[in-house]
């Protein structure tokens, strides 16, 4: 079987973000064992694949407050769940995203589980986020990826991640250029505070023709995904697959619903109005 491909000419990349329940080490009231996380991930992924999703990444969304550095238990949990998904869904383009900052750990897990990409939230520049000040990891990512012989793993880099505030903000297009040209990111993720702002960001960077695919990082729904794909090469989606969202125990443990995934994928196929 050939290796899964994330970006295919003429077909938008629809990437599902699978948020894992809190791990026991997080000390969160909604914490679940690794086996429960694996079982839930397999159920959710099966629903997504049946609806036509061809790419998915894992993220430790429930482990908050965030650690200032990636913890060993995060590496272990994502590796365990990711390995299970790779065994069951070899055709899926698989990715890794860790909420705490770093490039080596997600790349190492991606290589170990046979994943095709990572998402890195602070790639160039510096940002203030809930866990403090974070500095860009482009150098670390490019050099560590080469060191472990994993150049086939794509780096998807956020440009001005919406969960933080940049220090020394550059114009958006210049920041995107820093990530795509000087940081050698394989794809750029753009997300505004609102959907209209996201479209403006995508349109501005698209006009700069930086040679990297552009992804909408959040806010896609059946009502707007066709419009988003007029500006983006793909979208990242999770909330639209659930009827309960937020940070409550119920929301953190809520699973994707097959009818919601199907409705989203049907909307992807519809022309923008």
**In this predicted model, what pLDDT tens digit does every residue of 126-161 receive, in sequence order?**
999 988 999 999 999 999 999 999 999 999 999 998
Q: What is the mean pLDDT of residues 243-265?
A: 93
Chain mean pLDDT for the chain: 95
Total domain count for the chain? 1
Q: Averaged over 103-132, what is the pLDDT?
A: 96
Over 90: is that where the pLDDT of 271 sits?
no
What pLDDT sits at residue 95?
A: 98
Determine which helix (DSSP H) or strand (DSSP E) holds 145, and give its type and residue range. helix 138-147
**Is cis: bond before 65, omega within 30 of 0?**
yes
| Phi, psi (rounded to 5 degrees) for 250 | -60, -45
pLDDT (average), residues 216-237: 97
What's the average model confidence in pLDDT over 71-88?
Answer: 97
Tokens 């790419």 locate to 55
Given a cut of 70, is residue 272 above it in pLDDT? no
Q: Could you tell me the pLDDT band of residue 1, with boundaries at 50, 70 and 90? A: low
Distance CA 67, CA 216 (A): 26
Is 17 a domain residue? yes
3 found inside a domain: no
CA–CA gap between residue 216 and residue 189 (Å, rounded):
6
Q: Which pLDDT band holds residue 38 (cuts at 50, 70, 90)? A: very high
Asked whether residue 209 is assigned to any structural domain, the reply reads yes
Tell me whether residue 226 is in a domain: yes
What per-residue confidence (pLDDT) applies to 270?
83
Domain containing residue 229: CATH number: 3.20.20.70
154 and 133 Cβ atoms separated by less than 8 Å: no
Q: Tell me, what's the pLDDT at 161? A: 87
- For the whole model, what pTM was predicted? 0.96
Q: Are 117 and 153 in contact (CB under 8 A)?
A: yes
Of 14-18, 40-44, 92-96, 158-162, the range with the lowest mean pLDDT is 158-162
Residue 8 in any domain: the answer is no
Q: What is residue 2's predicted lDDT score, i.e. its pLDDT?
A: 66
Which residue, among 22, 100, 91, 30, has the nearest Cα to 68 in the 3D structure? 100
Question: Does a structural domain hold residue 2?
Answer: no
**CA–CA separation, 236 vs 245, rounded Å?**
16
State the pLDDT at residue 39.
Answer: 98
Residues 90, 97: Cα–Cα separation, whole Å:
19
271 compared with 181, residue with greater pLDDT: 181
**Res. 79: pLDDT tops 80:** yes
Contact between 103 and 137 under an 8 Å Cβ cutoff? The reply is: yes
How far is it, in rounded angstroms, from Cα 270 to Cα 273? 9
Number of neighbouring beta carbons within 10 Å of residue 263: 15
Share of the chain above pLDDT 70, in %: 98
CB 140 within 8 A of CB 103: yes
The SS3 assignment for 93 reads: strand
Query: How large is the greatest C-alpha to C-alpha distance in the chain, in angstroms?
Result: 47
Give CA separation, 71 vs 87, 253, 259, in Å: 25, 22, 36
Domain annotation covers residue 1: no
Neighbours of 133 (CB within 10 A): 13
Which among 106, 95, 107, 111 is positioned nearest to 17, based on CA atoms?
95
- The domain of 236 spans 13-269
Residue 271 DSSP code = P
3-state secondary structure of 216: strand
Nearest CA-CA partner of 171 in 212, 208, 141, 119: 208
User: What number is the average pLDDT over the span 232-256?
Assistant: 93
Indicate whether 201 belongs to any domain: yes
Q: Do 100 and 71 meet the contact criterion of CB atoms below 8 Å apart? A: yes
At residue 250, the pLDDT reads 87
114 has a pLDDT exceeding 70:
yes
Give the Cα separation of 61 and 136 in Å (integer). 21
């Amino acid at each position: 079987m050939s290796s899964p491909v994330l970006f295919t000419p003429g077909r938008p990349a629809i990437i599902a973000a699978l948020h894992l329940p809190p791990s026991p080490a997080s000390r969160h009231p909604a914490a679940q064992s690794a086996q429960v996380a694996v079982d839930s991930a397999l159920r959710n992924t099966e629903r997504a694949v049946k609806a036509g999703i061809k790419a998915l990444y894992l993220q430790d969304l429930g482990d908050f407050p965030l650690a200032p550095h990636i913890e060993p238990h995060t590496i272990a949990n994502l590796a365990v769940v990711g390995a299970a998904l790779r065994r069951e869904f070899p055709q899926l383009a698989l990715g890794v995203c860790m909420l705490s900052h770093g490039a080596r750990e997600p790349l190492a897990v991606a290589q170990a589980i046979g994943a095709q990409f990572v998402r890195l939230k602070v790639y160039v520049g510096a940002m203030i986020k809930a866990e403090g000040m974070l500095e860009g990891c482009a150098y670390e990512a490019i050099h560590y990826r080469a060191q472990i012989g994993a150049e086939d793993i794509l780096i998807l880099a956020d440009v001005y991640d919406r969960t933080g505030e940049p220090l020394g903000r550059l114009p958006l297009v210049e920041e995107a250029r820093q990530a795509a040209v000087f940081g050698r990111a394989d794809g750029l993720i753009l997300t505004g505070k609102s959907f209209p702002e996201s479209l403006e960001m995508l349109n501005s960077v698209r006009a700069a023709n930086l040679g990297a695919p552009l992804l909408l990082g959040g806010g896609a729904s059946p009502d707007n995904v066709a419009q988003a794909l007029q500006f983006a090469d793909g979208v990242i989606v999770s909330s639209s697959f659930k009827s309960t969202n937020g940070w409550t125990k119920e929301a953190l443990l809520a699973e994707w619903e097959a009818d919601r995934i199907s409705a989203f994928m049907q909307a992807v196929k519809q022309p923008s109005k």
